[in-house]
Amino acid sequence: MLSDNWKQAQKSVAKFLQEHGFAIQQEYRLKDQKRMDILALRKVKKTTYHIIVEVKDWDNVSRKKEMEFCKQIIDYLIEYALEKLLRKDPKNKWDRSTTQINDQFIGILCLTKDAYFSFRKVSEHFFRKNARIQGIPLREQIANQIQLFVTRFDFLPKVFQELKIPLFKESTLEDWIQKEKNDE
């Protein structure tokens, strides 16, 4: 059973993403029924960013456990990317080495408590050596579009700064009314 702390942490991350202009879906399921905590989408110019966020509300996450979580997210990223790309062009399913991919697939392991690092980008070598990618042209090409970050919740904006995705807070009616009062 999930703890209330974990649910609250997931809601906080989803709220942060939604406030900054991302379309979000919580508890997203892949075709093979694997469940992702949060799927966020945002289009910037011609690039669509698909962001998978796994929220962990654990005390003292060990380096070993962190790497297990990262492997899990990479599996989710690969499966999700394949689902999206194959749905767009079901013909020529296996030989797409010439296809231009304009989508970026980002994984974020968001730790709500103490962690080894407050923010770090996982080396691309870590997922390039993944057996599910090697030797299959489309999957190798997808690997070029994948990035993975491990961060604490309070460093989440730094992920988007690193990705050069502008964060903006959507104005609410209350913000507009307050601005009008300040201008008077």
CATH of domain 4-183: 3.40.91
- Reported as a single tens digit per residue, the pLDDT across 72-128 is 888 888 888 888 877 655 555 555 444 567 788 889 888 876 655 666 677 666 665
Q: How far is the C-alpha of 22 from the C-alpha of 167, rounded, in Å? A: 9
pLDDT reported for residue 164: 84
Predicted TM-score (pTM) of the model is 0.76
Contact 122, 149 (CB under 8 A): yes
Q: Which residues contact 62 (CB under 8 A, 6 or more apart)?
A: none
The H or E element that residue 106 is part of is strand 103-111
Q: How far is the C-alpha of 3 from the C-alpha of 17, rounded, in Å? A: 22
Beta strands in 30-175 (DSSP E): 35-44, 47-56, 103-111, 119-121, 146-152
Contact 132, 75 (CB under 8 A): yes
Amino acid at 24: I
Q: How far is the C-alpha of 93 from the C-alpha of 138, rounded, in Å? A: 9
Contact 54, 36 (CB under 8 A): yes
Residue 1's pLDDT band (cuts 50, 70, 90): very low
- Reported as a single tens digit per residue, the pLDDT across 119-178 is 667 766 666 566 566 556 666 677 778 888 888 888 888 888 888 888 876 555 565 666
Domain extents in the chain: 4-183
Q: How far is the C-alpha of 35 from the C-alpha of 183, rounded, in Å? A: 48
Q: Which residues pair with 36 in a beta bridge?
A: 28
pLDDT reported for residue 50: 92
Structure tokens at 135: 């030797």
Helix and strand numbers, DSSP H then E, in the chain: 6, 6
